[in-house]
Amino acid sequence: MFFNSPQSIITVLTVVLNLLVIISVSHFRQLHTTTNLLTLSLAVADFLVGFLQMPVEILLYKGCWTLGDFICAVKFFLGSHIISASVGNMVLIAIDRYIAICDQMFYSTKVTLKRIIFCICLCWILSALRSISILVDFLSQQYRYNFCNGECVTVIRLTEAAIGFFVSFLGPITVIIVLYIRVFVVAVSQARAMRSHITAVTVQRSEAVKVQKSEIKAARTLGVVVVVFLLCYTPYCSIIVAVVNTSTGGSTASLQYWLLYCNSCLNPLIYAFFYPGSENL
């Protein structure tokens, strides 16, 4: 049965949750905001992870590869492309939230629909370009490490491992942490300032309490974003560090791959349903 394994359940949840976000943002016109457009792009990337990558990993986990060399090459290209695009969209959302909270007066002028669309397209294009380099490297050593008939396996080279570590983990997490620390500090300070300026007027008091709760919620959610990213990506990137240090392959780390994929299952919960600025989803 399809639901006999935890991997299958994670796959179904990833597809369903991200599909709900895609349908909601696409269908309801009131959700067509710049922030939700970034959330939509992230949901598309995570949906593709669940729809394309996770089922393939289940096939690989159960035995030798039977889908042919061409599909094997496509698997590695799409895997790198989609994961990189997902991380890139998370960085864009961090930048968007930074401007929205730390530079509120100029948010509408700095963050326009055209600029958001340009950044999203650039994110996907750069991810594709990086994946092409991985695909070329894979094709050059495709038949060198086949240990059974039809096996789909690759060995991570030292240079590619180092680039992947900085591009897919160290760089993005540094940007996200730095921006979210700044956002956290500003959100907490705004909440404290609002608390100290509550007036005796009932309407003003209720509005102040509402804003205060929103800012506190924003600060707490930002912490969840960083912690979940670290929990999902650190085990996988520890493999990359091992490859850099020992120059050995890291293609058999199934658990680390699935922890990485779990981020695509958790993203719609964090960014779409609980994330500040996306309450209307």
- The rounded radius of gyration (Å) of the Cα atoms in the chain is 21
pTM listed for this prediction: 0.80
Predicted pLDDT at 97: 84
Task: Examine the pLDDT at 19 and tell me if it is beyond 90.
Answer: yes
**CATH architecture group of domain 2-273:** Up-down Bundle (1.20)
> Is the sign of the CA dihedral 269, 275, 279, 281 positive or negative?
negative
Task: Examine the pLDDT at 201 and tell me if it is beyond 50.
Answer: no
List the chain domain ranges: 2-273
List pLDDT tens digits, range 112-160: 999 999 999 999 999 898 888 777 766 766 554 444 555 566 655 666 6
List pLDDT tens digits, range 241-250: 665 555 444 4
Cβ–Cβ under 8 Å, residues 191 and 216: yes
Average pLDDT of the residues in 56-80 = 74
Average pLDDT of the residues in 103-108 = 84
Single-letter amino acid, residue 254:
S
Predicted pLDDT at 214: 55
- C-alpha–C-alpha distance, residues 216 and 194, integer Å: 11
- C-alpha–C-alpha distance, residues 208 and 61, integer Å: 53
| Cβ burial 110-130 (10 Å sphere, 16+ → b, else e) | ebeeeebeebbeebbeebbeb
Q: Is 199 helix (H, G, I), strand (E, B) or coil?
A: coil
* Mean pLDDT of all residues belonging to the chain: 76
